[in-house]
Amino acid sequence: MTAPEQPQSRLALGLIELGLTLAGITAALTPLLLWASWSETVFYWVLSVGCASFLVFMALAHIRGHLLRENSPGRDVLGLKGARQRLADWDRLQEHDSTVLRKQRSIKGDARREFGFMMRVTIGLILGAGVVFLAVYAGFEFAYG
């Protein structure tokens, strides 16, 4: 394996990223193309190309992970041990640190203010739309009524 800083590795990474992009676009367009296919043969061709693009995407993502050395060890496939350890560390930090508790209280206050702001904006938009619809309705009743 080469390090990502070397020119060959950067070229390979760029080609992998290009392949990931093309496979992702193909996979995203597959449902639309399946819906628009005009014959059974075209339907199966599009379906096979879409399935192949998903497989190519997964393979390229795996290769990219090897190239950048992002893969987790073989036994801990999902990284659950590390996630559990980070969760335990986070819980321990929250129990003993007063600044974390203060920040949590301020975040809760911020969340309440933000929610109140969003509710006021939503109610204002609903009332504004109601006024516009009522004005249009009244105009039609006056003009044609």
Distance CA 33, CA 67 (A): 33
Distance CA 125, CA 38 (A): 43
Tokens at residue 122, please? 């939503």
Burial of residue 46, with CB atoms counted within 10 A of its CB: 0-12 exposed, 13-18 middle, 19 or more buried: buried
Q: How confident is the model at residue 3 (pLDDT cuts 50, 70, 90)?
A: low
pLDDT per residue over 29-85, tens digit each?
Answer: 888 888 888 889 989 999 999 999 999 999 988 888 877 776 555 555 566 777 888
The CA-based dihedral angle spanning residues 88, 89, 95, 96, taken in that order and rounded to the nearest 10 degrees: 150
d(CA 25, CA 107): 38
What pLDDT is stored for residue 4 in this prediction? 55
The pTM of this model reads: 0.45
